A and B are shown apart, each in its own frame.
Chain A
């Protein structure tokens, strides 16, 4: 091909200029689109007589909520409802993350077990719960399991302290006594001592080569010191047991069935994914690493702690964090069984009552976005810190 005869339009073939043109066009189109949407929304809101803005947050909500972690009455504001929804979401997410992590690690390691029965059971667990939609699992635990529980009078009970019935799971509630201060001090002291001992043990090993069983000593301290404190200063808690009065239980701690179902379903569903991540992480460490550690004479525990886990964790942590994020987002399925989480409560009930769709949805979105961004910032920081150094 011959170059163009005239130099008049030749700039159009410059990739740099083409790039700039493409970006300008994109920006203009995007700006027009946003402008049109905003105009549309404003006109429609005006036509329906809905005032936009966040003033509605100060209005009284006027409805009851199934579970509130902070005191709440029907005359409280929508702003308080928002906080209650947020706390409920955080509660079920935090409970779920803890349970899913423990279950996931157990199942992931079990699937790698040399014991055929153990690994087969783990495989069935993982493949079942990973491949059933989470909403269906929530329905299963809520409708098929918990709604099939007996009435309070026929509760399933353990040790006269824990009861399970159609109204939920009833647990003993600790009520702090005067000795609780001493107890808390003992717990804090035990962890502080653990830290001091860990530092001392590292120094001593550096100097003399003698290792020290830091973990077991620390664990012993954490159990023993609070126990001693409760012996000397008396019991730090009295336990309020749930008791049957008439047709229902009073006292104790109650986990409503909506929370139990959501928690169990999300934990099990997510644990199946975590199990696969753990398995992949361990398998990602080449067998040569184990062999080299064996050849050097390291014991199986040392091989795991000093060679395998530090490398496996680098593979496990990033996808694990994103599973935590998934669990948090999936907790919005709460709406389906009426657990008052942020989406069901605020972007559901509040939206319906006020009609402030844009504001409520935007606030709910902002919450999830904030959580996501915080988690991904943590992830980037962690990756940077832990990345293997190459060249």
Chain B
């Protein structure tokens, strides 16, 4: 009786050793948009503290892959387990996973009607039921870490793109996530602002955060990634540590892709 009672209040965690070690497990994940097969049998295991970069041509399914992890998109078959919580249609499981997974978007998606500080405290206050003062202390801590504490009382519209993206990173960190997903975080930025965002991400990586980044910043992939995954047409085509991936790619499509983006 006791067990079933706890099961209804806390999400079901899978106890097996293999999945407990891994932060994220994706097994045979498939997804279709109508007839279009977006994700074809994706298998991916991400260890705790591992940094992964996903790259590939546009439309290859890399964004969709990470958006499946926190259920911004639903997969139709296969299994996704995050920190021992299996993703299902159960709202409680989805909410439990979203509390542990932070996400940063290409277009920042800050809430324009709230100040920078309020953007950061919204979820801690309403999702974690945290006292306002405490949430503000945490928010200021992370705003200092992304080096914009002095902008706390401004609105997102008053900030530059790079600053907005750093606020977005701080906002996600305020929920103390175990995993951070980055969906092309620098693609909408002016070139001179890319570095400040990448620097923030590198610091985060150095602190041991588990990270999945969809990005075209190959320099970032080289310095930070433990593994680089190349996707094309909904499949994982190649996965390798960056030193192997960039110097000795095996697959023809990878070579072609690298040839296109590295020769510029």
Contact = CB atoms under 8 A, between A and B. Distances in A.
Interface of A: 205-211, 286, 288-289, 291-299, 302, 306-307, 310-311, 314, 388-391
30 contacts: A208-B131, A209-B128, A209-B130, A288-B107, A288-B109, A289-B109, A289-B111, A292-B103, A292-B105, A292-B110, A294-B71, A294-B98, A295-B98, A295-B101, A295-B103, A296-B98, A296-B122, A296-B127, A296-B171, A296-B175, A297-B95, A297-B123, A298-B123, A306-B122, A307-B111, A388-B155, A389-B154, A389-B155, A391-B157, A391-B158
Interface string B75-99: 0000000000000000000010011
A160 to B, nearest CB: 48
B18 interface: no
Interface in B110-153: 110-113, 122-123, 125-135
Interface of B: 70-72, 95, 98-99, 101-103, 105, 107, 109-113, 122-123, 125-135, 154-155, 157-158, 171-172, 175
A207, A295, A389 — most chain B CB neighbours (10 Å): A295
Contacts of B127: 296-298, 302
Nearest to B106: A288
B99 A291 contact: no
B157 A388 contact: yes
B72 to A, nearest CB: 6
Contacts of B175: 296-297
A209 B158 CA distance: 29
A389 B158 contact: yes
Contacts of A289: 109, 111
Nearest to B97: A297
A255 to B, nearest CB: 42
A205 B154 CA distance: 24
A286 B155 CA distance: 17
A210 B134 CA distance: 13
A302 B157 contact: no
A1 to B, nearest CB: 43
Nearest to B158: A391
6 nearest CB pairs, A to B: A390-B157, A292-B109, A296-B123, A206-B132, A389-B155, A295-B103
A291, A293, A299, A388 — most chain B CB neighbours (10 Å): A291
Contact of A297 (B99, B109, B130, B132): B99
B112 A210 contact: no
Contacts of A208: 131
Nearest to A311: B113
A295 B70 contact: yes
Nearest to A314: B113
Given A207-B131, A291-B72, 20 more contacts: A205-B132, A208-B131, A209-B125, A209-B131, A209-B132, A211-B129, A288-B105, A291-B109, A292-B110, A295-B72, A296-B123, A297-B98, A297-B123, A298-B122, A298-B127, A302-B126, A311-B113, A314-B113, A389-B158, A390-B155
A206 B121 CA distance: 11
A388 to B, nearest CB: 5
A389 B112 CA distance: 8
A313 to B, nearest CB: 10
A388 B111 CA distance: 10
